[in-house]
Structure 1
């Protein structure tokens, strides 16, 4: 029996399987099995009202999970699936409350990683529900895993099987677009940008940032809490011009800073994530995890450029800074 066959059997038995996607590794369970889904929440320490994203084999499975599907959803699915885009739609009555956090909506995505797609196809062919609920395979609120080793570090024996698909190509979570309330709204930025979505829809989506009226009425979605994606070591974002002087001032006070920068430098406690937004996103979580292991007093992050290409990176860094408390 190969690992794919074993994964299908475990999922059908209600067990947890960590799966690689192009975004991050997910902690997967049969989305139609409430008891299996409950194991996700227990393993992660995730609040029960926090909804999950259901991964499906292809757009032909939409009606199994969603109803009242608008043309905009089908257009976005045709343009970006398989890929790092999650659609929030009205749920079918058969979708378990455990998946949706008790809401009338469900998040759906067709992942682009070939191993994840092969698993979904095999799971459906074996008589499974065709849907795998899979939030990031880490402890709730902590750095998302972008390799199989990260999953082992985070969850250990809490997962029955880890499918190793290598490093994640994108490295940050999917863009989430809400299509359940009329005008499309971006609830979480990701690799697929607002401009790309607008080009398909022939109109710009609403940017439902946390704290405004649109966000208050929006469904709860994964990764929308103020504190998320966080290392233990506290994080401070610093303007590029102030980075070196801030680091020197901390060292003068007897503190040990670690630095996350755009470009390489000479310090031992420095990592460069990349000057290109896509490369930076790909490297971000692995770099934060590596810096977190140094035992530094503080991680200084060189603030990236303020352009649309960097929006998702800014989102993740802001939430990571809010969640890093210095307490494991």
Structure 2
């Protein structure tokens, strides 16, 4: 039994079954035992992201951010806020490229790397020390209260925000709570723990099939609405895997989309080794759009990662993929890594990009 497992079991014994959202939040973000409090090596042992494939991902994003700066008529300071910055790998790719290739934009760029984990903030500070000393970067635990002009962006963050689990039973929702039976976590059906769950589905016009399981991403809704309130003028860019609501809750997803990842293996054993495996659910982009509207965010683009990266890389024929002095073998390897990011059978069509503006 993991230390977190003992803490959660004791909580359930004392107070009764808890919403899965509470369980998931503790499994991922407990300050001592949560999955994202672990070292970066733990994550790499379980899965990898677009950032891990090649620096071209960050370089193309940098070009997109420079476009945003131009669209905002070149403000003196452009606040670029990365939510879920981890150990600063993507931040370094973006900052290094802007410094070398986009000097005018770099002069205005103020990067804020937001990360909950204290250990990962420390790793990021070490990796990004040079940019911090030059006042182009600061690392924090919270998104700034006010973003006068800039962009808040995330890459594979929304899928790791806690979700409630529900099932349609006799025409109404029951919530799948987490109970504990003889030391094992089990599903327990009960009334929904908050009326926000009913509002979540009603707002999107979603009716589940009888017996269908689904996730309600209330935390993601609260997150996007709050971010929209903090932006005075600028953008929110979300990159993640998921769908719009009509596809996300169709008959192909009768069991929901929640999955557990450990050692590059995927399962539906959500209760195994709390704090030692990643838990994710597909992102509902319709919900991000709807709740974003409540704080003034308007959708300007929704597309696949393939189309998004192609539009950014094609003008210079993806010259940004190469580093100075590379051998022909290195260049071939770089092109293959690029294909992983944009090929429909790789990450290209599994990931989507939502751009909102205020």
TM-score by length of 2: 0.26
The structure that has the greater radius of gyration is 2
**Greater fraction helix:** 2
TM-score by length of 1: 0.28
**Greater fraction strand:** 2
